[in-house]
Structures are given as C-alpha cells and as structure tokens.
Chains A and B, each alone.
Chain A
Amino acid sequence: MTKTRDREVWKSLRGIPEIYQNKVPPMDALRVFDIMAKARALEERLRKISKTEHGYFWVGGTGEEAFNVPLGLLVQKGQGPAFDYLHLHYRSGAILTAMGMPMIDAVRQMCSRATDRFSGGRNFVHHYSIPAWNVVPVSSTIETQYTMAPGTALAQKRFGGTGITIVNGGDAGTSEGDFATCLNWSSIPGRELPVLILVVNNQWGISTPFSEIRGEQTAIQRCGSYGIRWETVDGNDPTASWNALSAAIAYVRDTRKPFGLEAAVSRLHGHSSSSGGARVDEPDCFEAFKGQLIEQGTASEDQLETIYIGHEDEARKAFETVVREPLPTPDTIYDHIFAEENSWQP
C-alpha cells in the first residue's frame, strides 16, 4: 500500500510549536558566560599548543561557544539509552566543557599523551570518546555521525524514556549524502526517531564559501522535504540559542520525533591550524555577550575579565602538567584492535 503525507502538514513545518517554546526554562546568563569563557580560554590554549613542539594539529570551535554551551547544559547526561546520545564533530569543545569535561582532558589529547582519556594519544584534539556520557567516538570523517544517529535513536525509541540522540555537524559536510540519510531514516512514517539534527553553519568548508557551492539558503530547510520540523537560530546569541535548543530538545523528548535546527555561527580562527589558525574578522559571540552583560549591569567588565583570566590560568596549568606526562609507548599499537570475547553479553 502506498503511503502519502498530507501536503497541508508540510506547509507548517518551520518553527517549534508554541507549547514547547512556552516551557523554556530561564537561562542563567552568568553561568553561561562563565562556561563560554572557560571554553574560549581552553581553545586559545589548545591553538597555542599547536604552534609548539607539544602538539601537531589544532581544529576547534572558537566562535561556536554561544550555541554549544547552552547545548551542553541542556544534555540529559549519562550512560545508556535512558540518556542522550551525542554524535559530535571536532568543533564541539564548548559542548563538552559545559557538560563538565575538565580542561586537562582536552589538553592531554592535544598533546597526544598516554594519559589522553579519549584516545590514548591516537587521535586529534576534540575527538572525544566518553561512554559514561554517551559521547560516541568523534571521527575526522565529516558527516558519518549523521548516518549513525538513527541507530542510537532507534535503541532509545525502543527503550522508552526521554533520552534523545543529538547529532551535530558543520554546513559543509551537509553536502554529503549522509545528511540526507539521517533525515530519511529519522522520518520514516510511523517509525520516526527522536533525533535532534543540528547544523552549525559557519559559511565555510575549509576555504570554500557556502554561497559558492550551494544553492540553498540553509542546509536544514531540507528537513521540510522529509516532513521534519525545523528552525534556524542566531548561534552567536546565547540567549536565542538557549531558547531554541530548549524548545527543540523538549519537542524531540516529548514527541519522539526528529527536529532540525541550524545555527548561524562564526569561525574565528579559520578551519584549523593547517590554514594558520589566525584570527579573522567575524562577529565574536563571546565579546558580544560580555558587552551585553556589562550593558545590562549583570556584571562589571573587571568581574568578567577576572572570570576569563581564571580559566586562562587553569588552561596554562593544565598544559604545564601535561607536558610532563609520557607519550604512549610503541608497544601499545596493538592494544584494543579487538574487544575481548566477554566484553558484550546479550
């Protein structure tokens, strides 16, 4: 039997239903600023390390903090299908910082130390693996995370509860068919999956502007073709991001259906250290939010600067600790090729 959808429904797919917008909890602006400062201080330190003999390559999310920090704070954190699964990419440092990742963990991976809890010195910085938080291994292969998201979401839908799958990636990668895979598999009629499909659009794919190779205004509008609700948000505005993410997450938790959200963000240091990592002239969400808090009288410039300096100090101390730690030894290359026979039981 051929199934068709009501075209009338498709017309109204943009936007988050009011019922979920009305439930958005208030954002603790100072807390968000504090974590944004921490994420920024960490990223600055990591980038600097890439210019020393202690690190090889930096790629990160400087400029995405206003979107990523609220996201990290809204995650239902834990292990297993009752909690949120995160399929992230390599610009997600602020998400992990907001979830509680100690700075030194990222520094260890940046310096490829044996103590690197994510990969034991095997992978680039921001390539996390955290089973306790359902953060599945981050890969340099952009967009592959979008093909895996329906799998964890299917397990969650089967499990029940309120856990959802959150998949995050850049705009350039949405050219890959994997993005369409996520939209398709998440929206099969009657078998919709609880996936929050995020795109952080910095308008760049390494050196190629979005406008040069894409006819769409946004990547996320493709959701409409699959019957998935979607919205865009100013990802440089933490309050707007908090509100949009809160409502979108509530929608997915409640309906057990997918939702697409695209955030317009900046990329303040280019693609990675491969292009020099120099600062570029784009709106800086951190400085803008700082100015906003001062203007609103929430905090003084000195207070906010003190917060940042404190995090800078922590990042420096983490680096000083990490450089004294050992590199992985050559004899470990054969470790963990295969899991032990008893590591999985039905």
Chain B
Amino acid sequence: MATIAQAIRLALHVGETRLGVTDILGEDVGPPLGGVFTVTQGLKTAWNSPLDERGIIGTAMGLALAGQRCVAEIQFCDYVFNTIDLLKLAGSSHWSSMGQFVLPMVVMTPVGAGIHGSLYHSHSFDSMMTHIPGWKVVLPSTARDCYGLMISAIRDPNPVMFLYPKALVRAQGKDKIPGEPDNPRTLSKMIDAPLGDRSSWIPNWPVLPDFSIPIGTANILKSGCDLTVVTYGRHAPLCHSIANKLGDEGISAEVIDLRSLYPYDWETIASSVRKTRRFLQVNEDGAITNFGEHLIRRITEELFYELEAPPKLVAARAIPGIGLAWPLEQATVPQPDDVEQAIRELANLSA
C-alpha cells in the first residue's frame, strides 16, 4: 500500500489536475528534490521558494487573496514558529473583514519526534496551532487518511494546517487508497522519482476516483468498553498496537484516531467516554497547555458524572527540547511502555 509520502503526493496530484491547485511552494519542494520527504516529487505546479518561511506563508496568503489555490510547505514544523503572526492574520482575515475575504490555502508540515531529529526536527505543533482560530487543523496517521484529508483540505475555503507525522512518512498503510495499484512496487515505479538524474523523469499517475475524508471526523481504530484512548498522529498506531496487546489480557480499550484537531469530532469522543467512563489522551506535544488538556477540561466539564476515574494525559515532558541521544528522546516523548502503563492504571482505577 502507499506510504504517507506517496499518499500526500497522490492527493496533491489530484489537487493540481482536478481541484484547481495552482501552486505547491516551499523550500526544495520543486525539482529536482521534490521535498525532503519526497511528498512533492513529479508535481507540475511545485516550485522552489527562497528559504524564507514568512515569505512562504505570506505569498500563500497573497495567492489565496487573489483567487489562486496553493499548498505551501514548511519543511519542518520547527521552522513555522516565526510565522505565527502571519498564521494569526490568515486565520482572522475572514472574521475581521466580516466574511468579505476568504483565504483558501493549505499549509503542510511534518511534525513530531522519532527520527533522531534533536531540538529543531522533532517539534510538535498541534497545541500551538489549535490556539490560532480561523484555521482548520488536521493530523492524520495513515496514508489513506492523509490522502483523504488532503483532498478535503484543498477543497476547503478556509486556511487548513495539514500536519503529518514525519516518523511515519515512509510507513506503508494497511488500507488502500481508492485507485492505487494493488502492488506497492508498482506504485513506487509509477510515482517515485529515480535516484540520480531525474531531469527527464515523468511520473505515471494512477487513475484515482473521487475520494475524501471529511475534516472533523475521527476514526475508531478499535472498539472497547473499559476505557477510551483518544490519540492522533504518530501515537495512533502505537496506541492501537498496545490496545490490541492488552486486549489479550482482558483490558478492553477503545482507540480513537482523532485525525482532525479543529474542528474535532466531539460526538465520537463523548459517545465513547459515556460508554467506557474512562478517558486517556495520548500525544507527543509538551504536557503544559497541551491540546489534550483541552479535551480533558471539556470532558471534565461536560461528562464529569459519567466518569469513573480521573481523565489522564500522556504527553511529552515540558522541557526546552528533545535531546538527540536516543535515551534522551525516549525519556522525553511518550514511549510504548508509558502508554501501556497509563492504560493499565486507568483501567484499574475507580472514582
């Protein structure tokens, strides 16, 4: 099955051939490289910008204001922080102009740890980004979801922040994207640029039928009745795997991949918590002022009398950065043991 990198590339191809995308811009997104994670290889509207994140976001805003459709890439989310005021401006322009201006633009950027990325290739951006109203924010964890949500992001008339887990970018999905070849090797031969000189290479795109995943819908990865685990991004497959393992021991965890952080699928979360009466949120952003804290606050306020145990958050340590040495990274961002321990504790707690 397709990797996340291939899935995003396929969606961008559909975007520029069927959905009106005029520009895919960012550092190194155009030929010859096609993105440091290869997600923009072979795309006809991809072009290399100056190494200037503020220029990338600002130009994307200008393109959107002038009726163009663009997908802008910030190479690592660690480098998007100096554009915060522009992101705020993009998110507020529709509101401040009383709906007179729309900014249909997508910004995509890889997030999270797991690739030995040290201080400036390991950041998360979900908590920060969900503090900027006027944006829709997605963080899918599978190739199929990346494809479907990128299509929805391109179609959306609002600015959409498309975050994707860099540690999973080359992981093959289990579910096929409608239209992708059955054999992953076939897909690779069709759309992966060759090594070396690729100046005469042209991708052979598969025919892809209409398919998208609506922004704001979660995916229940595993049903369960003892506790609810809401997660997203890199930790979605991790939580799923641990829940399967603990299921053999009689702990029945329901695992929800949120996929969209704003708007988020409150109905699915609330319905699950009403059933399991226990709530765990897992993500890899810093633990203080964390997006998971918002979910816990809302659950506490709205579902307090449904709960049988205090809600719990497993997130990264709130320290200045993620150290390069593997023991340092492991001690900083949630590891499988942390998640497993949290699930065990929560399943056995009574209010």
Determine whether the beta carbon of A85 is less than 8 Å from that of B66: yes
What are 19 A-B contacts with C-beta separation under 8 Å?
A87-B62, A117-B98, A129-B96, A136-B93, A137-B96, A147-B57, A147-B58, A147-B61, A147-B86, A149-B62, A150-B58, A151-B65, A151-B68, A154-B66, A181-B50, A184-B52, A335-B99, A336-B94, A343-B102
CA gap between A22 and B121 in the complex, in Å: 55
Residues on B with beta carbons closer than 8 Å to the beta carbon of A130? 100
B317 close to chain A: CB less than 8 A:
no
Cβ-closest chain A residue relative to B136: A338
A81-B66, A155-B66, A341-B156 are known contacts. Are A148 and B61 too (CB-CB below 8 A)? yes
Cβ–Cβ contact A340 & B157, under 8 A = yes
Report the minimal beta-carbon distance from B312 to chain A, rounded to whole angstroms: 31
Q: Hey, which chain A residues are within 8 Å of B62, CB to CB? A: 85, 87, 136, 147-155, 165
A242 to B106, CA, bound (A): 40
B318 within 8 Å of A by Cβ? no
With A and B bound together, what is the CA distance between A339 and B160 in angstroms? 12
Interface contact B54-A178, CB-CB below 8 Å: yes
Bound Cα distance A34, B243 (Å): 76
A120 and B98 form a contact (CB under 8 A): yes
Complex interface bits, B45-67 against A, C-beta within 8 A gives 1, otherwise 0? 00001101011011111111111
B134 in the interface, Cβ–Cβ < 8 Å? yes
Q: A339 and B102: CB pair below 8 A? A: yes
A342, B158: Cα distance in complex, Å: 11
From A85, A87, A130, A346, name the one whose CB has the most chain B CB atoms within 10 angstroms.
A346
User: CA of A135 to CA of B197 in the docked complex: distance in angstroms?
Assistant: 45
CB distance from A227 to the nearest CB of B (A): 14
A119 and B63 contact, CB distance less than 8 A: no
Contact A184 B95 (CB under 8 A): no
The distance from the CB of B269 to the nearest CB of chain A, in whole angstroms, is: 21
Q: Report yes or no: A139 in contact with B89, Cβ–Cβ below 8 A.
A: yes
A339 pairs with B158, CB closer than 8 A: yes
CB-contacts of A121-156 with B (<8 A): 122-123, 127, 129-131, 136-137, 139, 141, 144, 146-156
Give which listed residue, A188, A335, A344, contacts B98 with CB less than 8 A: A335
Q: Min CB distance, B16 to chain A, in Å?
A: 10
Cβ of A129 and Cβ of B134 under 8 Å apart? no
* Proximity bits, A45-64, B CB within 8 Å = 1, else 0: 00000000000000000000
Complex Cα gap A330–B285 (Å) = 35
Residue in A closest to B154 when the chains form the complex, CB atoms: A346
Contacting pair A154 B50 (CB below 8 A): no
B59–A147 touching, CB < 8 Å: yes
A-B Cβ contacts below 8 A, count: 147
Which residue, of A81, A119, A177, A338, has the highest number of chain B Cβ atoms within 10 A?
Answer: A338
By a CB distance below 8 angstroms, the chain B residues around A139 are 89
Q: Say yes or no: is B20 at the interface (Cβ < 8 Å to chain A).
A: yes
Asked if A19 CB lies within 8 Å of chain B CBs, one says no
Contacts of B345 in A (CB 8 A): none
* With A181-B58, A184-B52: A127-B96 Cβ-Cβ less than 8 Å: yes
Of the candidates A148, A158, A181, A188, the one whose C-beta lies within 8 Å of that of B65 is A148
* Contact surface of B with A, Cβ cutoff 8 Å: 19-20, 22-23, 49-50, 52, 54-55, 57-69, 85-86, 89, 93-102, 104, 133-134, 136, 156-158
Residue A80, interface by CB 8 Å? yes
A336–B99 touching, CB < 8 Å: yes
B149 to chain A, nearest CB (A): 15
Listed residue (A165, A336, A337) with the most chain B CB atoms within 10 angstroms of its CB: A336
Q: Is the CB of A184 within 8 A of B67?
A: no
- When distances are taken between beta carbons in the complex, the residues of chain B under 8 Å from A335 are 95, 98-99
Please tell me the number of chain A residues within 8 Å of chain B, measured between CB atoms: 50
Residues of chain A with a CB closer than 8 A to B94's CB: 336-339
Establish whether residues A152 and B158, one from each chain, have CB atoms under 8 Å apart when the complex forms: no
- In the complex, residue of chain B having the shortest beta-carbon distance to the beta carbon of A181: B55
B84 to chain A, nearest CB (A): 11
Are B101 and A152 interface neighbours, CB within 8 A?
no
Cα of A136 to Cα of B52 in the assembled complex, Å: 22
A286 in contact (CB, < 8 A): no
Give chain A residues whose Cβ lies under 8 Å from the Cβ of B55. Answer: 147, 150, 181, 184-185
Alpha-carbon distance A242/B23, docked complex (angstroms): 36
Q: Is A118 an interface residue (CB 8 A)?
A: yes
Give the chain B neighbours of A181 by CB distance below 8 A.
50, 52, 54-55, 58
Knowing A119-B97, A122-B96, A346-B20, the reply to whether A152 touches B65 (Cβ < 8 A) is: yes
Which residues in chain A, 94-138, are within 8 Å of chain B measured between CB atoms? 117-120, 122-123, 127, 129-131, 136-137
Q: How far is the CA of A339 from the CA of B91 in the complex (A)?
A: 11
Known pairs A152-B65, A336-B95, A337-B95; A147 contacts B54 (CB<8 A): yes
Which chain B residues lie closer than 8 Å to A343 at the CB level? Answer: 102, 157
A158 to B45, CA, bound (A): 13
Bound CA–CA A336/B103 (angstroms): 12
Contacts of A131 in B (CB 8 A): 100-101
9 nearest A-B residue pairs (beta carbon): A151-B62, A147-B58, A346-B20, A155-B66, A129-B97, A344-B157, A336-B99, A148-B62, A339-B157
Chain B contacts of A337 at CB under 8 A? Answer: 94-95, 133-134
B86, B98, B133, most chain A CB atoms within 10 A = B98
Report whether B58 and A144 are in contact in the complex, using a CB–CB cutoff of 8 Å: yes
A316 vs B136: C-alpha distance when bound (angstroms): 44
